[in-house]
């Protein structure tokens, strides 16, 4: 294993819960009813695929652009007010990977500008060689495109890289790319189907760090 590639929302930052709450609050304000199914179904999707999914779920009359704009504004307002919630163990695992010299990247379905902004706000930019956002590929997770791009930019073969994910869509994407999918469940627990795709399931990033330390220790010996 030569590289570790991280999803962002739900892995490095505890933003999935905030995102879901903003979806529900925005829908209530706009009188759109309960869109819980849509909110959870879009976890791991980029904007292009989210639009397709929502239109399939709620019909072409759904005011997607207006909803997305209002939702994004609400999300940003809460981040600026309350700060960016960093997942426990995030700083520790990133510091260890940097000290060890292991290549790292972010592969997030969120647009690149937002990903870069979050990384800068948290002080995480120096830990990554590459930042890949959902707007850099036509279709994001569960398709493998974003992880294949991340591996290509890092100069590593997918079969020599681990993907740290929290969502079923992310795990499917990493598995399809031929990587080692490591899941740290956040909002959605893995089904039996997803469990079968995993290289490892961990409770938090501290556990991921311990697991990776074992792997890289064995590689050196």
- What single DSSP character describes residue 134? G
* pLDDT computed for residue 154 by the predictor: 98
121-177: per-residue pLDDT in tens? 999 999 999 999 999 998 889 999 999 999 999 999 999 999 999 999 999 999 999
Which range has the worst mean pLDDT, 79-83, 84-88, 112-116, 130-134?
79-83
Is residue 91 over pLDDT 80?
A: yes
Tell me if the pTM is above 0.75.
yes
pLDDT score of 17: 87
Cβ atoms 20, 41 nearer than 8 A: no
CA distance 221 to 89: 26
Please list the alpha-helical segments (H only) found in the chain: 16-29, 36-41, 47-58, 64-82, 90-100, 112-122, 145-154, 168-177, 192-195, 205-220
> So what's the pLDDT on residue 48?
85
pLDDT score for 8? 96
Calpha distance 181→148 (Å, rounded): 13
Predicted pLDDT of residue 193: 96
Which tokens go with 102? 């292991």
Is residue 221 over pLDDT 80?
Answer: no
Residue reference for tokens 């800068």:
120
pLDDT-derived band at 83, boundaries 50, 70, 90: confident
Residue range 65-78: mean pLDDT, rounded: 93
- Please indicate whether residue 59 or residue 139 has the higher confidence score (pLDDT): 59
pLDDT above 90 (res 89) = yes
Averaged pLDDT score across all residues of the chain: 94
HSE-up of residue 89 (Cα within 13 Å, Cβ side): 13
What is the reported pLDDT for 37? 94
């Amino acid at each position: 294993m030569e590289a570790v590639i991280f999803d962002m929302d739900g892995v490095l930052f505890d933003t999935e819960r905030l995102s879901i709450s903003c979806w529900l609050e925005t829908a209530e304000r706009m009188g759109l009813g309960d869109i819980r199914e849509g909110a959870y179904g879009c976890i791991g999707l980029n904007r292009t695929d989210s639009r397709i999914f929502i239109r399939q779920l709620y019909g072409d009359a759904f005011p997607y652009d207006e909803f997305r704009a209002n939702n994004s504004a609400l999300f940003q307002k809460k981040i600026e007010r309350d700060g960016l919630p960093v997942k426990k163990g995030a700083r520790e695992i990133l510091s260890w990977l940097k000290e060890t010299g292991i290549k790292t990247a972010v592969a997030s379905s969120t647009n690149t500008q937002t990903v870069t902004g979050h990384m800068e706000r948290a002080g995480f930019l120096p830990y990554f060689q590459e930042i890949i956002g959902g707007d850099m590929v036509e279709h994001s997770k569960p398709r493998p495109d974003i992880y294949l791009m991340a591996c290509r930019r890092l100069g590593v073969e997918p079969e020599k890289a681990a993907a740290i994910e929290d969502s079923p869509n992310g795990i499917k994407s990493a598995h399809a790319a031929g990587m080692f999918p490591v899941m740290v469940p956040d909002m959605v627990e893995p089904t039996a189907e997803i469990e079968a795709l995993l290289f490892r399931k961990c409770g938090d990033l501290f556990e991921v760090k311990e697991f990776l330390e074992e792997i890289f220790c064995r590689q050196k010996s």
